Structure 1
Amino acid sequence: MKAKPRVAAFFDVDETVIRGASSWILTRELFRHRFFGVSDLFFAARHAFMYVVLGEDQNRIEHVKNRALRVMAGHSRQEIMAISEQVCDLLEKKLFPQAQGLIKRHLAAGHDIWLISAAPAELPQMLAERLGLTGGIGTQIAVKDGVYQPQLASELMHSQGKRETVIALAKERGYDLTQCFAYSDSDNDMPLLTLVGKPSAINPDIWLRVRAFQRGWPVIDFRRRSRISKILQKVKARRRGLELKGLDQ
């Protein structure tokens, strides 16, 4: 009897699995631990805001990457791992409940599940471990004698970098990519989404929304459902308040 092909689901992290940008949360924690000054924090905040408003941009990502490498250089990996634990505590609070439900369905189906992000590799790896997933893939910063160096040890895990990494992983693990799933919010992940047989757009930016519509891909918006849910909760709470007030009269 022929064995079933191995299937994997690849999840982008920011605005797909969690609300917001994991790199910004990491930046805030690094600032709190005095890795850098106020000017660097404002730089990161501005780019985090532009990411939310305008989506990802290759030139901006390159600029942020170079500045981040200068910040990390000279610090021990042990320091970063300790801070990453704190960051993951915050990330878990930002998980979209719908994403958690989707992940559970893949787990129930026996699929491997990978988080894949441009953030430093420690974050997706640690978050994946906490969620009981197969693994996390991120950008690896060079380390020498336990200390970070001002250069990368891998491709930037973004756009084409994600695609090439997943191709290599599929060969290593025996995945049938035509049966695999991929989820992302960003048009920059088109190289990954077009690689698998079952792509979906989650909370997509405008360009990915258009491309997904053109290709007939599923489009899922967790944020819209979250807003509707909050409105309904407020309406229910108001009704309960009115009911209680009526009982007091």
Structure 2
Amino acid sequence: MKLALFDLDNTLLSGDSDFEWAQFLIGKGVLDREVHEARNIEFFEQYKAGTLDIHAFLDFQLAPLSRHSRSELDTWHGEFLATRIRPLISTAARELVAKHAANGDLLAIVTATNSFVTGPIAREFNIPHLIATIPAQENGRFTGQPRGTPSFREGKIVRVDAWLESLGLWLGGFEQSWFYSDSHNDLPLLEKVTNPVAVDADATLAEAAARRGWPHISLRA
């Protein structure tokens, strides 16, 4: 068996689903534009710079989920998927996933973005496994806090290892393993697979990929 892991934002998607979700809620008037837009942009820039405090970001990103019912959130997400996410999915991204699926590889998206936002996107790609930051719930409502280890930087390794262990597998046991990512924040997991692939990479990752002889591909439309 072979393993194919995919980062989501700016990798399979030609954009960032976390950022787009907040902007979507701002556009609907659910979040105050003046208060949230600048903060959303600030966190996005910190992520790109490698200085993001994941816990501060999750406090910001998960709080809106706690203020609304799940049915209301699900209705909004259907609109979000149709208007904001599908336009960010290129034919090349779909074909890459389909190629690995046709080869019988074990597929998973591994993303720092929370599972409420990313679950329907994983289903859109027909990827059966999702390793994402988990928003905590109580009595059917989100609490605004994360549960367990955030799927970010070294946390992605922790979460992938736990997932594979639950299947009776381990990362080193695969004949071949791939991880596709755009971000230098994913270098820890890229270094763990047999086939790391940079995808439309940021400058830091592009430099590291060139230095190490890793392939660098584009999935942009």
Q: TM-score range by the shorter chain?
A: 0.7 to 0.9
Q: In 1, distance between residues paired with 2:135 and 2:118?
A: 14
Selected match of 1:144 from 128, 131, 138: 138
Matched, 1:14 2:15: no
Matched, 1:93 2:87: yes
TM superposition score normalised by structure 1? 0.78
Distance 1:157 1:165, change over 3 A: same
Q: 1:70 aligns with which of 63, 68, 79?
A: 63
Give 1:116-195 correspondences, 5 Å limit. Answer: 116-173=110-167, 174=169, 176-177=173-174, 179-195=176-192
**1:168 Cα offset (Å):** 1.4
1:96 & 1:222 partners in 2: Cα distance?
7
The offset of 1:196, in angstroms, is 1.2
Deviation digits for residues 53-104 of structure 1 (CA, Å, limit 9, x no counterpart): x825333544332222333323223322222222222312211222222111
- Larger Rg over CA atoms: 1
DSSP 3-state at the match of 2:12: coil
Cross-structure match for 1:231: none
Distance 1:56 1:100 in 2: 28
Point out where structure 1 has 5 or more consecutive residues left out of the alignment: 1-5, 227-249
Q: Does 1:210 align with 2:210?
A: no
SS of residue paired to 2:148: coil
Letter in structure 1 aligned against 2:194: G
CA contact (8 A) 1:125 1:135 kept: no
Matched, 1:196 2:190: no
Q: Distance in 2 between matches of 1:120 and 1:49?
A: 15
What do you get for the CA RMSD once the two structures are aligned?
A: 2.2
Q: Is the 8 A contact 1:77 1:143 kept in 2?
A: no
Secondary structure at the counterpart of residue 140 of structure 1:
strand
Q: What is the number of residues matched between the two proteins?
A: 217
Identity rate, percent: 24
In 1, the alpha carbon distance for the partners of 2:87 and 2:209 equals: 29
- Unmatched runs of 5 consecutive residues or more in structure 2: none
Q: In the alignment, is the contact (CA less than 8 A) between 1:178 and 1:198 conserved in 2?
A: no
Higher relative contact order (Cα pairs below 8 Å, separated by 6+ residues): 2
TM-score normalised to structure 2 length: 0.87
Moved more, 15-24 or 168-177: 168-177
Bigger drift between 133-142 and 32-41 goes to 32-41
Contact 1:14 1:20 in 2 (8 A): yes
